[in-house]
Amino acid sequence: MAYERLDEALKTLNRRQLLELDTCARCALCTDLCPVYAESKNPLHAPGVRSSRILSLVNKRLSLWARLLGPRPLPEGELEELVESTYHCTLCGRCMETCPFGLETHELWLNVRSLLNLLNQTPPRIKMLGEMLEENGNPYGLDADMRLDWADYTGLEEAPVKDRAEVAYFVGCTTAFKAVNQEIAYSIASLLNELNVDWTLLGEEEWCCGSPYLLAGDREGAREAAERNVEALKARGVKTVITGCAGCFRVMRWEYPKLLGGPLPFRVIHAVEYFSEHITSGDLKPEPLDARVAYHDPCELGRLGGVIEEPRIILKALTTNPVELPENGLEGRCCGGGGLLQAVDDELRLSIVDARLRQASELGVEILTSACPSCKLTLSDGVRERSYNLEVLDLMELLARQMGL
Amino acid sequence: MTLNAYPALYIFSVGVLPYITVIVFIVGVIVRSMKWLSAPRGSSTPLSLTAAIRQIILDVILFRKIYRHDKLTWLLIFLFHISAGGIIFGHMRGFKLWSAELFTPLGEGFKNFLVETLPIYMGYLFIATQLLLLLRRLSLEGRKLLSHPNDYAALILLLATSIAGQGMRITPPEAVDTTYTVSFIPRLVVLHLEKIPSVPWFLIHVILTQLFFMYIPYSKLIHIYTGVITAALYGSRRSEYGL
Ligand code: HEM
Ligand code: SF4
Ligand code: SF4
């Protein structure tokens, strides 16, 4: 172990994070609600244990005692266990919301991933993802010129890629490349056409939003992705960027200004915000179903993105029988689809989604909606693997469907 | 037997130790602050005062988040912190920050209950909740949490301090009925005692309390003040996100 590198990496933890690590009472109140710990029961996966480990590491190397008496070496396996802990996390932010001190663990976990990346400790399967991102601009290793194929597959008639437009629809890789999600793109595009909006796609110029870079601890990669997308959007004179992906939304809305060091020249909103306004104003009048429909809050849209009310406005317009799941809104329960957990431990991801699906199924939910392609992917995998009798749809798909599109 | 029955120990604990306590405490706060300040600045959230105050009241004073999902643990942690607060407030009377007259409007009987009887119950509650917290920690150790040695040290030190305090309260006081003053730091920290408490308990309590104060900046007890800062930051973040 090159200790110099370790010390340099530890110095990337910022002021607030060091203060927060010292504030943690190691009370484990965050542990009970962590979706990963709830399924694995492995102490290494408990958020409070992770913060305790990180603090020990900092204190061994950088505390006053370490400076006076010399830094202490790490016991065998300590770093490997921190890697195991850090990547067994969906980055759902539930621990942050549960912590009585409001410790911003979500940012801390992201920062620890960058720190591990600096130490070349990123798990191999996540490293591979980084290589694919480098080559193709998406985490699925597919050619950039396949980015618009969804429009052909779904039979969308008008998929404009213009030089200038008021509104841009940022599709996102998980929507564009994953077959189960391509209907989401079709639905959003059709709704924009229905409203006669002056809108455009970025086509092949759309690049990964940067989220997977951040999740893999590569902040510089995320910054470059942000720069590239912002340039492409700016060149089109876009005023509003709409995305249907909770991950793209969170990163563009909340991380881009930090990565690029200033405000963006356009506003970024999630499709549920855009279309809920049009439902409230009466521009969109969907035909309500009378099925039991529930909405699952994507972590990156609700707790980590700040959008909780709008999807519920849409839901109420889509069914006469809306169902509220337990653990919702700010306290939404993660489906298991975040944090790149799938690449590290897919079995665990499936047991996490199973716990969520059980909650829905116990309430007799017939259609389970969400507003994120990663949630849809995970919820659909869960329904298939464990044979649940419910339909998984994105809220945008159901909206387009009830609009007859 | 009066307080100076053990002259050397008495002089040390009220005449020397207080200066050491203040110095050790201040050095600790400076060292900790330097540790934080030596790190790079992160991205900053604009401070929203109303959101910060709201967050502090709900999460720091009422422990709302714990209440929501674990009522039993909430009760334990809430009672522990409330009795701590009550006891700190009670001590302030001895240092003349308030006087029993404050409660006269509530009636003589109730006043006596508040300043004589309630503190004894508070003391028992404080000790009981600490024991339960210790048991809780031991039972979750290695499964749900990973303590640092100072987590136990803080609890045990506080437990010993409060047992000594309670011992002093419930063993018969030394009979002297004028007010007795103990100068820790003359003019600055002066304790006014209406009854001279049981001397050995008093000395143990005074020494342990000072050790506890010294320990704050070097242990997890630092959350006593940093917890207010982090809660204010989180409140501001929520307001930034429109939540
Ligand atoms: C800033 C607001 C505060 C919050 C949010 C807070 C929260 C907590 C929490 C969650 C615990 C963990 C209980 C456990 O270990 O299971 C704890 C423990 C403790 N707190 Fe506080 N506390 C605060 C202020 C204070 C104050 C003012 C005192 C002053 C006496 C204090 C003294 C302690 C002690 C001695 C412990 C026990 C240590 C332990 O359990 O290991 N706290 N606090
Ligand atoms: S972010 Fe979510 S998964 Fe990760 S430790 Fe916190 S609660 Fe667990
Ligand atoms: S709830 Fe907060 S203080 Fe308690 S262990 Fe978790 S992160 Fe630490």
pLDDT in tens, A189-245: 999 999 999 999 999 999 999 999 999 999 999 999 999 999 999 999 999 999 999
d(CA B14, CA A221): 60
Alpha carbons A46 and A237: distance in angstroms, whole number: 46
pLDDT exceeds cutoff 90 at B48: no
Band (A40; pLDDT cuts 50, 70, 90)? very high
Is pLDDT above 80 for B174? no
Mutation site, B29, B30, B33, B35, interface A, largest A CB count within 10 A: B35
**pTM score of the predicted model:** 0.94
* Atom number of ligand 1 nearest to Cα B151: 41
Look at phi and psi of residue A93 and say left if phi exceeds 0, alpha if psi is from -120 to 50, else beta: left
- Number of helices (H) and strands (E), helices first, in chain B? 10, 2
**DSSP state letters, B68-85:** HH-HHHHHHHHHHHHHHH
Nearest to B137 by CA among A59, A31, A81, A104: A31
* pLDDT of res. A352: 98
Cross-chain CB nearest to B42 (options A11, A15, A41): A15
Q: For residue B175, is pLDDT > 70?
A: no
Measured CA to CA, the distance from residue B9 to residue B207 in angstroms comes to 10
Whether residue A52 and residue B148 make contact (CB cut-off 8 A), yes or no, is yes
Per residue in A383-392, pLDDT (tens digit) is: 999 999 999 9
- Mean per-residue pLDDT, A142-146: 87
pLDDT range class, residue A247, cuts 50, 70, 90 = very high
Tokens 């056409």 -> residue: A193
Q: Which two tokens stand for residue B86?
A: 């009550």
The alpha carbon of residue B171 is apart from the nearest alpha carbon of chain A, in Å, by 34
Contacts of B68 (CB under 8 A, 6+ apart): A331
| Ligand 1 atom at shortest distance from the alpha carbon of B155 | 38
Nearest ligand, measured from the Cα of A24 = 3
Residues B97-126: tens digit of each pLDDT: 988 888 888 888 999 899 889 999 999 999
Domain with CATH 3.40.50.1860 in chain A: 125-275
Q: Considering only A20-29, A148-157, A300-309, which range has the smallest mean pLDDT? A: A148-157
Q: Which of B41, B60, B147 sits opposite A26 (nearest CB)?
A: B147
Beta strands in chain B (DSSP E): 180-185, 189-193
Mean pLDDT of A59-78: 89
Output the ligand 2 site: residues, CB below 6 A: A 34-36, 47, 89-95, 105-106, 109, 334
Say what the pLDDT of residue B60 is. 85
Out of B58, B81, B122, B212, mutate this one to test ligand 1's pocket (max ligand atoms within 8 Å of CB): namely B81
More confident site: B170 or A288: A288
Q: Which residue has the higher pLDDT, A298 or B172?
A: A298
Do A148 and A159 touch, CB atoms closer than 8 A? yes
- In the block, tokens 């999902």 appear at B69
Judged on CB neighbours under 10 Å (0-12, 13-18, 19+), B8 is: exposed
Terminal-residue alpha carbon distance, chain A: 59
Q: Return the SS3 of A391.
A: strand
Q: What is the structure's pLDDT at A144?
A: 84
What was the pLDDT predicted at B81?
Answer: 93
The residue whose two tokens read 């009798």 is A389
Record: contact B223-A64, CB cut-off 8 A: no
Q: Do B146 and A25 touch (CB under 8 A)?
A: no
Q: What is the pLDDT of residue A1?
A: 62
Angle at A148 between CA A146 and CA A149, to 5 degrees: 65
Q: At A239, phi and psi to the nearest 5?
A: -100, -30
Query: Would the pLDDT of A55 be above 60?
Result: yes
Ligand 3 centroid to residue B93 C-alpha, Å: 34
Chain B residue whose CA is closest to A256: B43
User: A93-129: per-residue pLDDT in tens?
Assistant: 999 999 999 999 999 999 999 999 999 999 999 998 8
* Residues of A whose CB is below 8 A from B74: none
Give the distance, in angstroms, between the CA of residue B49 and the centroid of all CA atoms in the same chain. Answer: 26
- pLDDT at residue A314 above 70? yes
- Cα B228 to middle of ligand 1, angstroms: 11
Where does CATH 1.10.1060 sit in chain A?
Answer: 3-121
**Contact by Cβ (8 Å): B157, B208:** yes
Q: Which residues contact A4 (CB under 8 A, 6 or more apart)?
A: none
B27 pLDDT more than 80: yes
What are the structural domain ranges in chain B? 48-171+199-240
| Closest CB from A12, A49, A102 relative to B145 | A49
Selection from A323, A329, A327 nearest residue A302 by Cα: A329
ipTM over 0.85 threshold: yes
- Give residue B176's pLDDT: 64
Number of CB atoms found within 10 A of residue B69's CB: 14
Higher pLDDT, A62 or B210: B210
> Does residue A28 line the site of ligand 3, with CB under 6 A?
yes
- Determine the CATH number of domain A125-275: 3.40.50.1860
Is B1 a residue whose pLDDT tops 80?
no
Question: Dmax of chain B from CA atoms?
Answer: 64
Mean pLDDT of all residues in chain B? Answer: 90
- A369 contacts A396 by C-beta, under 8 angstroms: no
Question: Mean pLDDT across chain A, nearest whole number?
Answer: 95
For residue B231, the ligand closest to its alpha carbon is 1
Q: What is the pLDDT of residue B177?
A: 66
Nearest to A298 by CA among A307, A290, A289: A307
Q: What's the pLDDT band for A313 if we cut at 50, 70, 90?
A: very high
b vs e for A281-305, b when ≥16 Cβ sit within 10 Å of the residue's Cβ?
eeebebebbebbbbbbbbbbbbbbb
Query: B169-180: buried (b, 16+ CB within 10 Å) or exposed (e) per residue?
Result: eeeebbeeeeeb
- A257-310 pLDDT tens trace: 999 999 999 999 999 999 999 999 999 999 999 999 999 999 999 999 999 999
Which residues of chain B from 88 to 127 reach within 8 Å of chain A, CB to CB? none
Is it true that domain A3-121 has CATH number 1.20.120?
no
Q: Please give the CATH number for the structural domain made up of A282-402.
A: 3.40.50
Q: How is residue B37 written in tokens?
A: 């300040």
